[in-house]
Amino acid sequence: MTLIASRSPRSPSAHVRVKRPGDRRSLSRSATRALDVLELFGRECRPLRAVEISQTLGTHPSTTNQLLKTMLDSGHLAFDARAKTYLPSPRLAEFGAWIMASYGADGRLRDLMETVRAATGMTVTISTPNDLFMQLIDCVVPDGQRGERGLSVSVFGTAIGSAYLAALDDDEVLRLAERARVPAGDLPAVLQDLAQIRLAGFADGATAGSDYWSMAMPLPMRGLRVPTVLGLAGSTAQVRERLGELHAIMREAVANWVPAGG
């Protein structure tokens, strides 16, 4: 299931590109798995046995053991031989402190997503810009569904991209549009649509080839180091007729969300 609108009525002729993590040749599976291990420690906040890590991440036990030994040898993990558990080493302390300073402590972004999902029952996403793409960095989904963390979609022609672009000034939008080769004839309509999004406070759009509709709004930059967009996705019937109500839920959740330095 695609969680992000891949065609927006606000940019009908934009050619939307989608990149999935498995499609990228440059993707290092070992590096990604190591980061998944560290993220798992962050969620669990306790030492973990190899079998727990393997079961949670869905990796083969031998692959997990080899990865953990590599991370242990490099000093990124520590091992308690008596309990047979692994945990991050002090080597990562400064990295953790920097992440907390950049995005807030205690998993606040995830708490924000969980709050919106609990109030709506829909898929909630967090994404950030990566050049001419928006990348899904985290998501929470209804039971029985799967998200696509790492998925990238074009900035132009998507709901989350439109929400990000609306937070920029027109000169920066035009600079990105030139690089993205958006047809010159579309630019006046794009700028007009972004002005409407700024007034409304959110962007929305359909997912081509499916019955899903997405909406998105930029998060305030208080305590964040990079522009970040909060997204919501559900069936067209769930979302399109309730845009105002859902935006109010998102807006209230963001107002109650207090990032570091906010």
Burial of 242 (0-12, 13-18, 19+ CB in 10 A): middle
pLDDT in 10s for each residue of the chain, 262 residues: 233 444 444 444 445 666 655 555 444 677 888 888 988 888 888 999 999 999 998 889 999 999 999 998 888 888 887 889 998 888 888 887 777 766 655 567 888 999 999 999 999 999 888 888 888 888 888 876 666 677 888 899 899 999 999 999 999 999 999 999 999 999 999 999 999 999 999 999 987 667 889 999 999 987 677 889 999 999 999 999 999 999 999 999 999 886 555 5
Residue 153, pLDDT score: 86
Pair of tokens at residue 199 = 């007034």
Q: Rounded to an integer, what distance in angstroms lies between the CA atom of residue 206 and that of residue 170?
A: 24
Measured distance between the N- and C-terminal CA atoms of the chain, rounded to whole angstroms:
35
Residue 108, pLDDT score: 77
- The residue whose two tokens read 């030994």 is 69
Q: Which residues pair with 106 in a beta bridge?
A: none
